[in-house]
Amino acid sequence: MAQLRELVKSLGWEPYRADQILNWVYKKFVTNFEEMTNLSKEQRRFLSENYSIHSLELVQKVEGGDSTKFLFKTTDGHLLETVLIYERDHLTLCVSSQVGCAVGCTFCATTQDGLVRNLRTEEIIDQFLQVQKHAPQKIRNVVFMGMGEPLANYENVRKAVEIMVSPWGLDLSKRRVSISTSGLVHQLRLMAQDPLMRELNLAVSINAPTQELREKLMPLSKTNTLQDLMETLYQFPYPSDRRIMIEYVLLEGVNDEEVHARQLANLLKKKRNKFKVNLIPFNPDPSLPYKRPSMERVYRFQKILWEEGISTFIRLSKGVDIFGACGQLRRKRLVLR
């Protein structure tokens, strides 16, 4: 907002022109400056010649039974994926924060291509703007669970969140914006001190109840240890009526045994009222060596956690049929069948 006001001022235009432009972009989702009919012809021409509304090119849209995946290209030729998820009574947009990912989780297809670069703020927001044009209703929920580690791109993600929740922007509720992280301890501590970011929904991928196993599945745990991560989460200043979501991807024969469930319960029960657990049966990908456990094993894992007083839910990911589910997004998958 402040930057646009300064631009309008430098051009010698009336200050309220900034509000008009923002309204066209974030409320009416126009695709070109010529649609901004309350600006003069000269102003529209100037904007068209010097600026662009969109920073991404829509390359492909793939429809699935419960979601739609969008493939975008950046101006420097890189590819990223965004998924629109159809919930029972609302729409959720899963946005990407990076091109690729450097975290290196062994069960995630996204990281197989490595990290190319962070997405800029406008590229994060443009995912919303372009998908909204194709959506059957207003998108009310946004989850930073697409390609990349959001907290590794902290400043750009924060600026995008500010646009998403501001009345002059997309005007979403802070309780409808979620950040999913693999557990970058330093950035989580920054988030805890940030009045804007700490009010968002927080989801943390644990995926293993011990340091040794977590290092094998998530190499970042070597420098962001499970102990440091849990201490940070214990102290995270979350409202008492909300809980941090612990995400746990279940891999058959790897982290889904009864002993793992009991170890996870011991990890969380110190402050059990601060957490809830999402069990995510592994979403298969031909490039990965793991298997999805049977639902019998998933239910057994859940039952043990419930018996230990840990609120635990099973999340059967949407978008599996179009490789748009958790851990399936890739920047090199051009044609989807």
Question: What positions carry a catalytic annotation?
Answer: 81, 326
Query: Any known ligand binding at 307?
Result: no
Q: What value, to the nearest 5°, has the Cα angle with vertex 234 and ends 232 and 240? A: 125
Q: What is the DSSP string of 75-110?
A: TTS-EEEEEEEE-SSSEEEE--SEEE-SS--TT-SG
Task: Please choose, from the candidates 34, 35, 31, 36, the residue with its C-alpha nearest in 3D space to the C-alpha of residue 58.
Answer: 31
310 is in an annotated binding site: no
Report which secondary-structure segment, H or E, holds 68.
Answer: strand 67-74
Q: Does the annotation flag 180 for ligand binding?
A: yes
The counts of H helices and E strands in the chain are 10, 12
Question: Which element (helix H / strand E) includes 60?
Answer: strand 56-63
Helix (H) or strand (E) holding 249: strand 244-250
Tokens representing residue 291 in the block: 């298997």
Reading the block at residue 35, the tokens are 């649609």
Say if residue 94 carries a ligand binding annotation.
Answer: no
Give how far the C-alpha of residue 10 lies from the chain's centroid of Cα atoms, to the nearest Å: 36
Residue 105 assigned ligand-binding role? yes
- Residue 206 annotated as binding? yes
Contact criterion met (CB below 8 Å) for 293 and 76: no
The answer to the question of whether 101 is labelled as a binding residue is yes
Annotated binding site: 101, 105, 108, 148-149, 180, 205-207, 283
Annotated binding site for S-adenosyl-L-methionine: 148-149, 180, 205-207, 283
Annotated binding site for [4Fe-4S] cluster: 101, 105, 108
